Chains A and B, each alone.
Chain A
Protein backbone atom coordinates (compact mmCIF):
# COMPACT_ATOMS: atom_id res chain seq x y z
CA UNK A 1 0.00 0.00 0.00
CA UNK A 2 2.69 2.49 1.03
CA UNK A 3 4.82 1.39 -1.91
CA UNK A 4 2.04 2.18 -4.34
CA UNK A 5 1.52 5.59 -2.73
CA UNK A 6 5.24 6.28 -2.77
CA UNK A 7 5.27 5.62 -6.49
CA UNK A 8 2.38 8.05 -6.93
CA UNK A 9 3.62 10.82 -4.63
CA UNK A 10 7.42 10.64 -4.96
CA UNK A 11 8.92 12.71 -6.45
CA UNK A 12 6.28 15.11 -5.24
CA UNK A 13 4.82 18.13 -7.02
CA UNK A 14 5.49 21.43 -5.31
CA UNK A 15 1.75 21.73 -4.66
CA UNK A 16 1.52 18.38 -2.90
CA UNK A 17 4.71 19.00 -0.95
CA UNK A 18 3.59 22.31 0.50
CA UNK A 19 0.12 21.03 1.31
CA UNK A 20 1.51 18.08 3.24
CA UNK A 21 4.21 20.22 4.83
CA UNK A 22 1.65 22.76 6.06
CA UNK A 23 -0.71 20.09 7.33
CA UNK A 24 1.72 19.13 10.05
CA UNK A 25 -0.46 21.80 11.66
CA UNK A 26 -4.23 21.63 11.53
CA UNK A 27 -5.36 23.87 8.66
CA UNK A 28 -8.03 24.46 6.02
CA UNK A 29 -7.56 24.94 2.27
CA UNK A 30 -7.38 28.70 1.95
CA UNK A 31 -5.12 29.13 4.98
CA UNK A 32 -2.68 26.67 3.37
CA UNK A 33 -2.57 28.80 0.21
CA UNK A 34 -1.92 31.90 2.34
CA UNK A 35 0.87 30.26 4.29
CA UNK A 36 2.53 28.85 1.16
CA UNK A 37 2.46 32.32 -0.41
CA UNK A 38 4.26 33.70 2.66
CA UNK A 39 6.77 30.87 2.73
CA UNK A 40 7.70 31.29 -0.95
CA UNK A 41 7.46 35.11 -1.29
CA UNK A 42 4.37 34.71 -3.44
CA UNK A 43 6.05 32.43 -5.94
CA UNK A 44 3.98 29.33 -5.24
CA UNK A 45 0.27 30.01 -5.54
CA UNK A 46 -2.15 27.12 -5.09
CA UNK A 47 -5.56 28.01 -6.50
CA UNK A 48 -9.04 26.89 -5.43
CA UNK A 49 -9.63 23.97 -7.80
CA UNK A 50 -6.17 22.57 -7.29
CA UNK A 51 -6.47 22.86 -3.52
CA UNK A 52 -9.89 21.22 -3.39
CA UNK A 53 -8.84 18.40 -5.72
CA UNK A 54 -5.54 17.80 -3.89
CA UNK A 55 -7.13 17.69 -0.44
CA UNK A 56 -9.82 15.26 -1.65
CA UNK A 57 -7.23 13.02 -3.25
CA UNK A 58 -4.88 13.06 -0.27
CA UNK A 59 -7.73 12.34 2.14
CA UNK A 60 -8.81 9.40 -0.01
CA UNK A 61 -5.24 8.10 -0.08
CA UNK A 62 -5.00 8.40 3.71
CA UNK A 63 -2.19 10.98 3.72
CA UNK A 64 -4.27 13.52 5.58
CA UNK A 65 -7.40 13.28 7.65
CA UNK A 66 -10.40 15.46 8.30
CA UNK A 67 -10.28 16.81 11.86
CA UNK A 68 -13.29 19.09 12.25
CA UNK A 69 -15.43 21.64 10.49
CA UNK A 70 -15.33 25.30 11.41
CA UNK A 71 -17.66 27.80 9.75
CA UNK A 72 -18.17 25.45 6.76
CA UNK A 73 -14.40 25.05 6.36
CA UNK A 74 -12.86 21.61 6.69
CA UNK A 75 -9.71 21.41 8.78
CA UNK A 76 -7.24 18.68 7.96
CA UNK A 77 -4.09 17.26 9.48
CA UNK A 78 -1.37 14.97 8.18
CA UNK A 79 -1.58 11.27 9.14
CA UNK A 80 1.23 8.91 10.13
CA UNK A 81 1.26 7.59 6.58
CA UNK A 82 1.40 11.13 5.22
CA UNK A 83 4.32 11.92 7.51
CA UNK A 84 6.15 8.84 6.32
CA UNK A 85 5.75 9.90 2.70
CA UNK A 86 6.68 13.52 3.46
CA UNK A 87 9.83 12.37 5.32
CA UNK A 88 10.84 10.21 2.36
CA UNK A 89 10.44 13.19 0.06
CA UNK A 90 12.37 15.49 2.39
CA UNK A 91 15.24 12.96 2.49
CA UNK A 92 15.23 12.86 -1.31
CA UNK A 93 15.35 16.66 -1.58
CA UNK A 94 18.15 16.81 1.05
CA UNK A 95 20.16 14.33 -1.00
CA UNK A 96 19.60 16.40 -4.15
CA UNK A 97 20.66 19.53 -2.34
CA UNK A 98 23.80 17.88 -0.93
CA UNK A 99 24.80 16.63 -4.36
CA UNK A 100 24.54 20.04 -5.97
CA UNK A 101 26.89 21.50 -3.39
CA UNK A 102 24.55 22.59 -0.60
CA UNK A 103 25.19 21.64 3.00
Chain B
Protein backbone atom coordinates (compact mmCIF):
# COMPACT_ATOMS: atom_id res chain seq x y z
CA UNK B 1 0.00 0.00 0.00
CA UNK B 2 2.56 2.54 1.12
CA UNK B 3 4.77 1.97 -1.90
CA UNK B 4 1.84 2.85 -4.12
CA UNK B 5 1.11 6.13 -2.37
CA UNK B 6 4.26 7.68 -3.79
CA UNK B 7 5.94 7.66 -7.15
CA UNK B 8 9.02 9.23 -8.65
CA UNK B 9 9.59 9.76 -12.34
CA UNK B 10 12.84 10.78 -13.98
CA UNK B 11 12.07 12.94 -16.94
CA UNK B 12 14.67 15.02 -18.63
CA UNK B 13 13.36 18.51 -19.29
CA UNK B 14 15.99 20.81 -20.73
CA UNK B 15 16.03 24.61 -20.75
CA UNK B 16 13.43 25.24 -23.48
CA UNK B 17 11.11 22.53 -22.12
CA UNK B 18 9.53 24.50 -19.29
CA UNK B 19 6.11 24.54 -20.95
CA UNK B 20 6.26 20.81 -21.66
CA UNK B 21 7.21 20.17 -18.05
CA UNK B 22 4.16 22.13 -16.85
CA UNK B 23 1.95 20.13 -19.22
CA UNK B 24 3.42 16.87 -17.92
CA UNK B 25 2.75 17.81 -14.28
CA UNK B 26 -0.78 18.96 -15.18
CA UNK B 27 -1.42 15.60 -16.85
CA UNK B 28 -0.05 13.68 -13.87
CA UNK B 29 -2.34 15.56 -11.47
CA UNK B 30 -5.34 14.84 -13.71
CA UNK B 31 -4.72 11.12 -13.28
CA UNK B 32 -4.24 11.33 -9.53
CA UNK B 33 -0.58 12.12 -8.99
CA UNK B 34 0.06 15.38 -7.20
CA UNK B 35 3.53 16.86 -7.34
CA UNK B 36 5.21 16.69 -3.95
CA UNK B 37 8.57 18.11 -4.94
CA UNK B 38 11.01 18.34 -7.80
CA UNK B 39 14.74 17.70 -7.59
CA UNK B 40 17.10 17.86 -10.52
CA UNK B 41 15.49 15.76 -13.21
CA UNK B 42 13.24 13.84 -10.82
CA UNK B 43 9.59 14.49 -10.13
CA UNK B 44 8.19 13.16 -6.88
CA UNK B 45 4.44 12.56 -6.65
CA UNK B 46 1.92 11.56 -4.00
CA UNK B 47 -1.33 9.79 -4.78
CA UNK B 48 -4.39 12.05 -4.82
CA UNK B 49 -7.87 12.28 -6.26
CA UNK B 50 -7.68 13.18 -9.96
CA UNK B 51 -8.09 16.97 -10.15
CA UNK B 52 -8.09 19.65 -12.78
CA UNK B 53 -4.99 21.50 -11.61
CA UNK B 54 -2.77 23.47 -13.96
CA UNK B 55 1.01 23.66 -13.45
CA UNK B 56 3.17 26.46 -14.83
CA UNK B 57 6.86 27.25 -14.54
CA UNK B 58 8.22 30.75 -14.14
CA UNK B 59 11.78 31.95 -14.33
CA UNK B 60 12.10 35.31 -12.62
CA UNK B 61 15.92 35.57 -12.20
CA UNK B 62 17.58 37.98 -9.78
CA UNK B 63 14.82 37.76 -7.26
CA UNK B 64 15.78 40.30 -4.67
CA UNK B 65 12.77 39.57 -2.52
CA UNK B 66 11.73 35.95 -2.75
CA UNK B 67 8.88 35.98 -0.15
CA UNK B 68 7.33 38.94 -1.96
CA UNK B 69 7.50 37.05 -5.26
CA UNK B 70 5.82 33.96 -3.81
CA UNK B 71 3.23 36.16 -2.12
CA UNK B 72 2.31 37.87 -5.38
CA UNK B 73 1.66 34.54 -7.08
CA UNK B 74 -0.33 33.42 -4.03
CA UNK B 75 -2.51 36.54 -4.40
CA UNK B 76 -3.36 35.26 -7.87
CA UNK B 77 -4.29 31.86 -6.46
CA UNK B 78 -1.06 30.14 -7.45
CA UNK B 79 0.54 27.77 -5.00
CA UNK B 80 4.32 27.50 -5.10
CA UNK B 81 5.23 23.82 -5.34
CA UNK B 82 8.89 23.60 -6.29
CA UNK B 83 12.07 25.29 -7.40
CA UNK B 84 14.90 23.87 -9.50
CA UNK B 85 17.75 25.80 -11.08
CA UNK B 86 15.91 29.11 -10.75
CA UNK B 87 12.67 27.77 -12.22
CA UNK B 88 9.70 28.19 -9.90
CA UNK B 89 6.77 25.78 -10.12
CA UNK B 90 3.25 27.04 -9.49
CA UNK B 91 -0.10 25.29 -9.60
CA UNK B 92 -3.71 26.32 -9.28
CA UNK B 93 -7.11 24.75 -9.61
CA UNK B 94 -8.19 25.10 -13.21
CA UNK B 95 -11.93 24.45 -12.86
CA UNK B 96 -13.83 27.02 -14.87
CA UNK B 97 -10.70 28.85 -15.97
CA UNK B 98 -10.30 30.03 -19.54
CA UNK B 99 -7.13 29.16 -21.46
CA UNK B 100 -6.03 32.74 -20.89
CA UNK B 101 -6.52 32.59 -17.14
CA UNK B 102 -4.47 29.41 -16.87
CA UNK B 103 -1.41 31.16 -18.21
CA UNK B 104 0.94 32.98 -15.88
CA UNK B 105 1.74 35.41 -18.71
CA UNK B 106 -1.08 37.43 -20.21
CA UNK B 107 0.83 39.07 -23.04
CA UNK B 108 3.29 37.68 -25.58
CA UNK B 109 5.97 40.20 -24.64
CA UNK B 110 6.26 38.88 -21.09
CA UNK B 111 6.54 35.31 -22.44
CA UNK B 112 9.41 36.45 -24.62
CA UNK B 113 10.96 38.31 -21.68
CA UNK B 114 10.97 35.12 -19.62
CA UNK B 115 12.58 33.20 -22.47
CA UNK B 116 15.25 35.88 -22.76
CA UNK B 117 15.97 35.64 -19.02
CA UNK B 118 16.45 31.88 -19.35
CA UNK B 119 18.80 32.32 -22.32
CA UNK B 120 20.79 35.09 -20.69
CA UNK B 121 21.23 33.66 -17.20
CA UNK B 122 21.12 29.88 -17.85
CA UNK B 123 22.16 29.22 -21.42
CA UNK B 124 24.97 31.78 -21.56
CA UNK B 125 26.81 30.43 -18.48
CA UNK B 126 26.71 26.95 -20.04
CA UNK B 127 28.29 28.30 -23.20
CA UNK B 128 30.99 30.06 -21.21
CA UNK B 129 31.81 26.89 -19.26
CA UNK B 130 32.03 25.09 -22.55
CA UNK B 131 34.44 27.52 -24.16
CA UNK B 132 36.53 28.14 -21.04
CA UNK B 133 36.61 24.58 -19.77
CA UNK B 134 36.19 21.90 -22.36
CA UNK B 135 37.78 23.42 -25.44
CA UNK B 136 41.10 24.41 -23.74
CA UNK B 137 41.30 20.93 -22.22
CA UNK B 138 40.89 19.33 -25.61
CA UNK B 139 43.61 21.59 -26.92
CA UNK B 140 45.91 20.53 -24.05
CA UNK B 141 45.39 16.89 -24.92
CA UNK B 142 46.50 17.51 -28.47
CA UNK B 143 49.52 19.57 -27.36
CA UNK B 144 50.65 17.05 -24.75
CA UNK B 145 49.81 13.98 -26.74
CA UNK B 146 53.52 13.17 -27.27
CA UNK B 147 54.18 12.73 -23.55
CA UNK B 148 51.40 10.30 -22.73
CA UNK B 149 51.12 6.61 -23.39
CA UNK B 150 48.52 5.46 -25.83
CA UNK B 151 45.94 4.14 -23.38
CA UNK B 152 45.84 7.38 -21.35
CA UNK B 153 45.56 9.35 -24.54
CA UNK B 154 42.80 7.17 -25.88
CA UNK B 155 40.90 7.39 -22.60
CA UNK B 156 41.15 11.18 -22.48
CA UNK B 157 40.27 11.56 -26.12
CA UNK B 158 37.17 9.40 -25.78
CA UNK B 159 36.18 11.16 -22.57
CA UNK B 160 36.50 14.65 -24.00
CA UNK B 161 34.99 13.78 -27.33
CA UNK B 162 32.06 12.27 -25.47
CA UNK B 163 31.59 15.39 -23.34
CA UNK B 164 32.03 17.53 -26.42
CA UNK B 165 29.40 15.61 -28.38
CA UNK B 166 27.01 15.72 -25.42
CA UNK B 167 27.42 19.48 -25.03
CA UNK B 168 26.99 20.17 -28.72
CA UNK B 169 23.84 18.07 -28.95
CA UNK B 170 22.38 19.80 -25.88
CA UNK B 171 23.13 23.20 -27.43
CA UNK B 172 21.53 22.25 -30.71
CA UNK B 173 18.49 20.93 -28.87
CA UNK B 174 18.21 24.12 -26.79
CA UNK B 175 18.66 26.48 -29.73
CA UNK B 176 15.98 24.63 -31.70
CA UNK B 177 13.67 24.65 -28.68
CA UNK B 178 14.08 28.37 -28.08
CA UNK B 179 13.48 29.14 -31.75
CA UNK B 180 10.26 27.16 -31.65
CA UNK B 181 9.13 29.02 -28.53
CA UNK B 182 9.99 32.36 -30.07
CA UNK B 183 8.00 31.52 -33.17
CA UNK B 184 5.06 30.48 -31.02
CA UNK B 185 5.17 33.70 -28.97
CA UNK B 186 5.53 36.06 -31.92
CA UNK B 187 2.97 34.52 -34.24
Seen from chain A, the residues whose Cβ lies within 8 Å of a Cβ on chain B are 13-15, 28-30, 33, 45-54, 56-57, 69, 71-74
Contact = CB atoms under 8 A, between A and B. Distances in A.
Given A15-B110, A46-B106, A74-B68, 13 more contacts: A13-B109, A30-B72, A30-B75, A48-B76, A48-B104, A49-B104, A50-B106, A52-B73, A53-B113, A53-B114, A57-B113, A73-B72, A74-B65
B113 A15 contact: no
Please give me the 4 A-B residue pairs with the lowest Cβ-Cβ distance, nearest first.
Answer: A49-B104, A30-B75, A48-B76, A50-B110
B71 interface: yes
Contacts of A71: 71
22 contacts: A13-B109, A28-B72, A29-B72, A45-B100, A45-B101, A45-B106, A47-B105, A48-B72, A48-B73, A48-B78, A48-B90, A49-B104, A49-B105, A52-B58, A52-B72, A52-B73, A53-B60, A56-B60, A71-B71, A72-B67, A72-B71, A74-B65
B107 interface: yes
A81 to B, nearest CB: 20
A56 B113 CA distance: 12
Given A46-B106, A47-B103, A69 B68 contact: yes
Contact of A73 (B68, B101, B104): B68
Interface in B58-106: 58, 60, 65, 67-69, 71-73, 75-76, 78, 90, 100-101, 103-106
Contacts of B60: 52-53, 56
B84 to A, nearest CB: 17
Given A30-B76, A33-B76, A54-B110, A47 B104 contact: yes
Contacts of B56: 49
Given A45-B101, A74-B68, A50 B107 contact: yes
